Amino acid sequence: MRDGDREDLELHRRLSTGDRGAFDELYRRYSPTAYGIAFRLTGQRLLAQDVVHDAFLALWRAPEAFDAARGAFRTFFLSLVHHRAVDTIRREERIRARQDRAANLEPVVDEDPSERVVDDDDLSERRRDVREALRDLSAEQRQVLEMAYFRGMTQVRIAEELGIPLGTVKTRTFAALRKLRGALRTDDRGDV
């Protein structure tokens, strides 16, 4: 084991006890490299800074995520940065695609105004149905859906933020979507 790896293990042990000095030292050691990785992947300074910030915040909140039996701390942390950068790129691409779609929407010339009234009424009714279906979910199910769909978080990030296993996030998401699908499908068919 390299001296640097031994020092990292000691710093991680201290970090696990809430030692701010250990966190600061790990930041000094790894923030330049982490930023380099994040910048190389995102191509944007602000996004790279956000990625590094999120990775260090995740480390501070859940130091137990590092398992020395699986490899060196450096490898673990820089992999965390890499994954967060990829998640950020994907999120930015989704946002950009939505904005592009919205920018390309043009009003149809000679559109019948009555169709718009009917469409608006259908949309209003659909929104009401969705809100009612969301109220029928458990608080935990609603929470993971809100984090995923309204805050754009990955299931891994949701698990980290809530401090629960990834499998639990997946189970809650799947159950919530199944329940919503069933409720909204029933509404589509009428009172079936």
Distance CA(192)–CA(188), nearest Å, equals 9
Predicted pLDDT of residue 43: 93
| Token pair listed for 52 | 């590094």
For domain 113-192, give the fold: Arc Repressor Mutant, subunit A (1.10.10)
| Entry pTM | 0.53
Residue 75: which of 64, 88, 66, 63 has the closest Cα? 66
How does DSSP classify residue 68? G
Predicted pLDDT of residue 23: 96
How does DSSP classify residue 18? T
The CATH number of 1-105 is 1.10.1740.10
Predicted pLDDT of residue 61: 94
Domain boundaries, the chain: 1-105, 113-192
Q: Decide if 168 contacts 141 (C-beta within 8 A).
A: no
| Token pair listed for 67 | 């398992």
Predicted pLDDT of residue 148: 84
Predicted pLDDT of residue 153: 83
| Token pair listed for 76 | 């673990």
| Token pair listed for 183 | 């409720």
Predicted pLDDT of residue 192: 40
Q: Which portions of the chain are predicted below pLDDT 50?
A: 187, 189-192
Q: What is the phi/psi pair of residue 109, to 5°?
A: -75, 145
